[in-house]
Amino acid sequence: MNSAVQIVDFSRSYGSVPAVKTLTLNVREGELFGLIGPDGAGKTTVLRALCGLIGRDSGTMSVFGIDPVREPRKLRESIGYMPQRFSLYPDLTVAENLRFFADLYLVSATERRQREERLMQFSRLAPFRDRRASDLSGGMKQKLALSCTLIHTPKLLILDEPTTGVDPVSRREFWAILKELAADGITLIVSTPYMDEALLCHRIALMNKGSALAVGTTSEITTLYPYTLVEAIADDLQKLRRLLVTHGLALNHLHRFGSKLHVSCSNSEEVKLVTSKVSQYGGSARVTEPSIEDTFVALLDNQKTVNPTQP
Amino acid sequence: MSRHPGLNYVIDPDLAVLSQSLTRRFGKFTAVDDLNLEVKRREIFGFLGANGAGKTTAIRMFCGLLKPSSGEAWVDGLPISTDAEAIKRRIGYMSQRFSLYDDLLIEENTNFFGGIYGLSKREIEASKAETFSRLGLDHLKRTLTRELPLGYKQRLALACAMLHHPRLLFLDEPTGGVDPVARREFWDIIYETAEAGATIFVTTHYMDEAEYCSRISIMKEGKIIALGAPAELKRLHNANSMEELFLDLVGEKARGSR
């Protein structure tokens, strides 16, 4: 498969603060690629550099063979970029916003009408065609912003945290749309702080503090989890957690995942200890496969141990 | 039981929030529609719902920032329609878009917010010492706020909201965007705060966090469509997870059945 995006040793600082440190990434054509990580991981900096909006301190970057810094104009027609705060015109209706962006990208009237129909359909915004953007819900605004980004049919779509602050239902709808786009052959790079969205990507880069902790498919990345994971269920997980601490388990190996407690066990004795203590407590425990979030938490913890000066 | 002057109504002192037929309209649009709710003291209450369901409007009313169109709510025993100012002094409020001053040191921010709440210098110092050590901010006192990682900014925002020892804390999407470790650390602090006697009223889009609440409500189109303990609601609606429950009640399926 051809590469759509190649990033080699990319670094970028803002003043004395490094935002991205020697990042190397490859995104293949037709791939749905996720940059997964919390605020301050450097996701936005990578995406803005790919669009040619900011320069690089060092390293190289190519998008469909074009250097975004040297030839930003050449790149513009092949990419669509949806920043975190996309500027919709609140006073314009859904249809008028789409028309405005079509004009900006010099889309002809005939083409525009065809695409408008398609975008309205797949974003399920058709019933709201004449509603002003200011009166749309958060999830609907994001879908309209996405539609505006797609009006010139880009080959590569770059989305910066499109689902942050969006409720679980709208989030799911939005990802269903991204999946359809990927199936149509569009390459997508999506950043998100939601670990569960990693599962919806073909491949991901797990990012933290300007570096990629891991790059690959989710199943490749979860193999990096360095412990055996025991999942425990009990009535009062807070109490169970405290109990396990008194039996020598480290607090940073005991993480709540919704209604379950995830225990990172270093060896088989610890697995036995945890299992017996949980059942004595009246709960149940079993060994299970780690998720991306388990892996991220563990890798983050190791990074903290390696560099303890970081708060 | 306390009886409020002018109101023929007895408020259960065990209730931190009581909402009766609370309604707020904006023009023709009804953002909050006949909301009925009881939140007990020391509860961690999760206030969930889709974007645009009316959560923020309801919270703004509870905090005394917005008057209801009809109905009434009592916060810490006080009616929101007449006692908004007193309510503001008794509650703490922290939103995802918290307003910390980036150019101030951490302790300058707390001094500033303490001043706003009308605390004396001595009260601020005492409260600061206690809050900082509990929230793990002690070693960062002299740090410039802008240099803090987001997770610590959130702790600072919480510290600022708690300086005046409110008995009720409103947290509006407090953990948006932070890493999973910082998110859990923040929830540990929420637990400790509730155990120390405060009531927590929290909104979130993370469904695993909904599980950490003692009770939750789910709002849709201005109305509460589910209310109860997470485990109880999952059982009642035959859902394996909060995510599934939320999707079932608020998502496509629910829409189709209407």
Residue B3 has pLDDT above 60, yes or no: no
pLDDT for residue A250: 93
Give me the residue from A37, A238, A296 closest to B191, CB to CB.
A238
Q: CB-based contact (8 Å) between B241 and chain A?
A: yes
Is any Cβ of chain B less than 8 angstroms from the Cβ of A40? yes
**Paired tokens of B92:** 């703490």
Under the banding of pLDDT at 50, 70 and 90, the label for residue A207 is very high
Distance from CA of A155 to the nearest CA of B (A): 28
Is residue B2 scored above 80 in pLDDT?
no
Chain A contact set for B179 (CB, 8 A)? 37-39, 41, 193, 208, 296, 300
Average pLDDT, integer, range B231-236: 96
- Residue B96 contacts A, CB cutoff 8 Å: yes
Q: In chain B, where does DSSP find H-type helix?
A: 55-62, 84-90, 106-116, 121-135, 150-162, 180-195, 207-210, 230-236, 242-250, 252-256
Report chain A residues whose CB lies below 8 A from the CB of B230: 259
* Contact status of B47 with chain A (Cβ, < 8 Å): no
With an 8 Å Cβ cutoff, are B205 and A166 in contact?
yes
B7 contact A CB<8A: no
- How far apart (Å, rounded) are the C-alpha atoms in residues B189 and B177? 18
The minimum CA-CA distance between A111 and chain B, rounded to whole Å, is: 31
Give dist(CA B241, CA B211) in Å, integer. 9
B173 and A CB contact within 8 Å: yes
Closest CA to A150 of A125, A106, A119: A119
If phi > 0 it is left, if psi is from -120 to 50 it is alpha, else beta; for residue B201 that is beta
Is the separation of the CB atoms in B201 and B170 below 8 Å? yes
Average pLDDT for A49-60: 95
- Best of A84, A136, A144, A167 to mutate (most B CBs within 10 Å, chain B): A167
A309 pLDDT band, cuts 50/70/90, is: very low
Indicate the pLDDT class of residue A26, thresholds 50, 70 and 90.
very high
The answer, yes or no, to whether ipTM is higher than 0.85 is no
B46 with B204: CB under 8 angstroms?
Answer: yes
* B187 touches A: beta carbon within 8 Å: yes
Chain A touched by B42 (CB under 8 Å): no
Question: Which pLDDT value is given to residue A305?
Answer: 55
Q: How far is CA B170 from the centre of its chain?
A: 2
Residue B10's pLDDT band (cuts 50, 70, 90):
low
pLDDT value at residue A310: 44
- CA-to-CA distance for B125 and A256, rounded, in angstroms? 34
Query: Most A CBs within 10 Å: which of B204, B208, B242, as the mutation test of the A interface?
Result: B208
C-alpha separations of A4 from A61, A123, A273 in Å: 11, 25, 49
**A279 in B contact zone (CB under 8 Å):** no
Mark yes or no for CB contact A256/B208 under 8 Å. yes
Cross-chain Cβ contact A208/B241 below 8 Å:
no
Which helix (H) or strand (E) element contains residue A19? strand A17-28
Compute the average pLDDT of residues A240-263.
Answer: 93
Contacts of B96 in chain A (CB under 8 A): 165
pLDDT tier at B253, thresholds 50, 70, 90: low
- Residues within 8 A of B (CB atoms), A 94-133 only: none
**Sequence-separated (6 or more) residues with CB below 8 Å from residue B180:** A38, A195, A255, A293, A296, A297, A300
Measured distance CA(A155)–CA(A75) in Å, rounded: 10
CA distance A75 to B220: 43
- Cβ proximity of B84 and B64 under 8 Å: yes
- Segment A261-275 shows an average pLDDT of 96
Q: Which residues of A touch B173 (CB under 8 A)?
A: 165
pLDDT band at A307 (very low <50, low <70, confident <90, very high): very low
Residue B194 pLDDT > 60, yes or no? yes
CB contact under 8 A, A258 and B187: no
| Distance (Å) from the alpha carbon of A135 to chain B's nearest alpha carbon | 10
Of A2-16, A58-72, A266-280, B91-105, the range with the lowest mean pLDDT is B91-105
Which of B219, B170, B232 is CA-nearest to residue B53?
B219
Contact A297 B207 (CB under 8 A): no
Inter-chain residue contact B50 with A170, CB threshold 8 Å:
yes
- Nearest CB partner across the interface for A40, out of B52, B150, B231: B150
pLDDT at B8 over 70: no
Confidence check: pLDDT of B136 > 60 = yes
pLDDT of residue A291: 95
Amino acid B177: pLDDT: 80
**Helix axes B121-135 and B106-116, enclosed angle (nearest 10):** 130
Give the phi and the psi of residue B12 in degrees, each rounded to 5. -65, 120
Residues B238-250 pLDDT 10s: 999 999 999 999 9
Cβ atoms of B119 and B164 closer than 8 Å:
yes
For CA atoms B138, B139, B142, B147, the dihedral sign is negative
Q: How far is the C-alpha of A163 from the C-alpha of A171, rounded, in Å?
A: 6
Evaluate whether B163 touches B187 at the Cβ level (below 8 Å). Answer: no
The mean pLDDT of A198-205, rounded to a whole number, is 96
Across residues B164-178, what is the average pLDDT? 91
Rounded Cα gap, residues B203 and B199, in angstroms: 14
Cα distance between residue B205 and residue B16, in whole Å: 23
Q: Which of A167, A256, A300 sits opposite B205 (nearest CB)?
A: A167
Is any Cβ of chain B less than 8 angstroms from the Cβ of A255? yes
Contact B178 A193 (CB under 8 A): yes
pLDDT at B20 over 70: yes
Task: Give the span between the Cα atoms of A233 and A259, in whole angstroms.
Answer: 7
Q: Do B51 and A258 touch (CB under 8 A)?
A: no
Q: Which residues contact A88 (CB under 8 A, 6 or more apart)?
A: A97, A133, A141, A144, A145, A148
Residues of chain A with Cβ-Cβ distance to B180 below 8 Å are 38, 195, 255, 293, 296-297, 300
On the question of pLDDT at B52 being above 50, the answer is: yes
Interface list for A 155-214 with B (CB within 8 A) = 164-173, 193, 195, 208
Q: What angle do CA B257, A136, A125 make, to 5 degrees?
A: 60
A66 DSSP assignment: B
Using pLDDT thresholds of 50, 70 and 90, give the confidence band for residue B256: very low
Structure tokens of A14? 């803002």
